[in-house]
Amino acid sequence: MKDFLNKMTDKANEMKDAMLDSISLDKITEKLNGIGDAAKEKITNTTNDLIAMSPIIEEMGYKTTGISITVGLPPDITFHFQKTADVSAERRAEILEQHKDKAMLGTIVKMLVTTDEYRDKLKLGSFKFNNIDVCIGLTPGMTIQLVPGGLQ
């Protein structure tokens, strides 16, 4: 079994080395510099739209604790949230109705609510639910951060 694991590790390292040899930093930099003005403007506009939604999301019980922007291939924006209050589904629906012109708002809120429902099913023990990260990019997703009860 040990020989098998060693062989697998060696193969994985060979593949990693082959991939790194074929990808140069110059090529990556060239690709980043090649992002067109229209794409840069789209990233900027999307970021500004999402930043403007933070106060609305806060009404729904989630405080924005930070925003990370990755300017790369592909670009993405990650919002970091902490839950601050329980807001009823009816109230969330009212707020969404008031802001129905903001397409991304509904998606972000659904992700936060889904995360909250998931959290309710977890047996946290000595951990507590600390942060929810929502990534808006080519592959949208969520990350949940759990920390030991005594840490913030």
Q: Tell me the pLDDT tens digit for each residue of 33-86.
A: 656 666 677 778 878 888 899 999 999 999 999 888 877 767 788 889 988 998
Q: Give the closest residue to 130 by CA, choosing from 112, 151, 146, 148.
A: 146
Q: Which two tokens stand for residue 150?
A: 């005594």
Q: How far apart are CA 150 and CA 119, in angstroms?
A: 18
Q: How far apart are CA 55 and CA 92, in angstroms?
A: 13
Residue 94 pLDDT exceeds 80: yes
